[in-house]
Structure formats: C-alpha cells, structure tokens
Amino acid sequence: MADPVVSDPGSATVAEPVRMPVRVLVFAGSLRTASLNKKLARLAVEVVRGAGAEATFIDLKDYPLPVYDGDLESASGLPPNARKLKDLFIAHDAFFIACPEYNAGITGALKNAIDWVSRQDGDEAGTVPYDGKVVGLCSAAGGVMFGIRAMEMLRGILMNLGCLVVPKRLGVPRASQAFDAADRLTDPGQIAALEATVQQVVRVAAALRASP
C-alpha cells in the first residue's frame, strides 16, 4: 500500500505530516438480502466511522463469482469481479468481516471469494491483497455457539494469507432474535463487543501504518 503520509508541497514551513485515516473494508459472508450478518456489518460501518476511520461497505452479492475452477482460471484468467475485489482489498488497510456459520464453518460464498482473491494475477502475488491487513471478525449465528467455529476457521484462513486477525471479536447467538425493528442490536454487551472489536482493528491498523 502507498505511504499514507501526505504533506503540503506548497507550504514554506515544514508541515506536520497529515495522517490519512485508516481505511476499513466491511462486508458479510452471506449473499442473502435479509442477512443478519449484513446488519452486523452495517452497524460496524457506523462504529468504524465513529472511531475516526474510513469505512467502505460492500455486498458480496454485487460481485458474483463462479465457483473456483482451475480450468476456468487457466482458460480465461481471473473473473472481472475477482479483480474488482482484489483491488478493493488492496486499497484498504483493514477488513471487518461479519461471518455467518454454516455447518460449523464459513460459507461457500465467502471461501470462494477469498480463494479467487488469493490467486496470482500476472506478476502480482496472490498474497498482496492480504499481507499485513488487520482484520476484525464478528458473527451473527443461528445457533447457540455464536459463530465461534466459523470465526476460528476464518481466522486460520486469513492468518495463513498474512492477515493479522485481532483477538477481540463479537459472536451473536440466536441472531434472529438479536436485532430490533431498526436493525440495531438490543444487547448492550454485544454492542460493547462490536465497538471494542472495531476499535482494536482501527488502533492496530493505525499503529502498523505509523511504524516504519
């Protein structure tokens, strides 16, 4: 990623460097329109902005991808939506991912997107979109396990790709009962956990950018 420090070349005095805000890409691992994880992700966007960082919300449904197939990749390269997702990943310092739990793991849609984005494109190594990115996780899960199995699986996948997944996280069990009519979490403990997780992502990403 480019040097985030910008200075005013027209200034006669030596100006204090202006630190650009941390940029966080926020998305959910679910495609469905009424996704509870998209609700969590949208709440996270507010918290990111409240923490002084920039948030970009994307919906994976807007980036439909074929199931990864090496023959397809050999024949026609990276699908355009995979390249778009790669560019979005590269342009952000951090990711905040709301990760549904399907059969004790992550969704096929999320894994497929991660897999396509991890593919080498020309001279660009596959790890470029991931390496050094700070990641926060949350999960709105249908069951009582609060999505811990999906978040652990996702943490392992992303750490393997070079991401730094922060230890704080939010798991929402029985998530169909967790939101009010305005799509806000009703449990103060869950709200606090979402805030703490986002704030840790922003702080760690800012510290990493400030380090030489």
Binding letters toward ligand FMN, positions 38-77, x by CB under 6 A:
----------------------------------------
Which of 21, 30, 53, 92 binds ligand FMN (CB under 6 A)? It is 30
| DSSP string across 124-193 | B-TTTTTTT-EEEEEEE-SSSSTTHHHHHHHHHHHHHTT-EEEEEEEEESSGGGSB-TTS-B--HHHHHH
Verify binding: residue 206, ligand FMN, rule CB under 6 A: no
Whole-angstrom CA distances from 39 to 7, 31, 156, 197, 200 are 38, 12, 24, 16, 20
Q: Residue 22 or residue 27: which is nearer to ligand FMN going by CB?
A: 27
Using CB under 6 A, which of the segments 85-93, 128-136, 138-146, 194-202 binds ligand FMN?
A: 138-146
Which of 22, 36, 163, 202 binds ligand FMN (CB under 6 A)? It is 36
User: SS3 for 206?
Assistant: helix
Chain residues binding ligand FMN by CB under 6 A are 28, 30, 32, 35-37, 100-104, 140-143, 145, 175
